[in-house]
Amino acid sequence: MNAANGQFRVLLDAGVPDSVGKVFARYGHMVIYHRDVLPEQTVDEVVCATALANDAILVAIDGDMKQMAKQYGVTPQGDRFNNLHIIRLCCNEVLASKRLEHSLTLIDHEWTFAAAKVARRMWVDVCPHQLRTHR
């Protein structure tokens, strides 16, 4: 991922609509679709590991990934996913692409901030009525 030019790579989890990927692509970011690299019903740990292996930001929308992010995120219980960058879409599939488009400037800013140091990671929650970052 190249912080200098602001471009990054994202891995869309299985439940994320293609319209979200199209928003990222329209703004010059590289999109990896779940179906292109992983089989259906892949466990969350493998999805996270795949995002890390591809140097990609994980974009998730499902409740299971929220639990995974909570377990390994704000209150980490291990260091396996400490470097995982994540964008959680905490809204329904219909709103996801529009809310993402509205929040891209914040996401770009957070990516630039996180990429400045190895120990930082980006974590942004895109909700129906709010945006939240975790630093």
- Domains, the chain, ordered by start: 9-126 (3.40.50)
Q: What is the pLDDT of residues 67-124, one digit of tens each?
A: 665 555 544 455 677 788 999 999 999 999 999 999 999 999 999 999 888 778 899 9
Q: Which residues are CB-contacts of 15 (< 8 A; sequence separation ≥ 6)?
A: 60, 61, 62, 93
Output the DSSP codes for 36-51: HHS-TT--HHHHHHHH
Model pTM score:
0.87
SS3 assignment, position 96: helix
The H or E element that residue 67 is part of is: helix 63-72
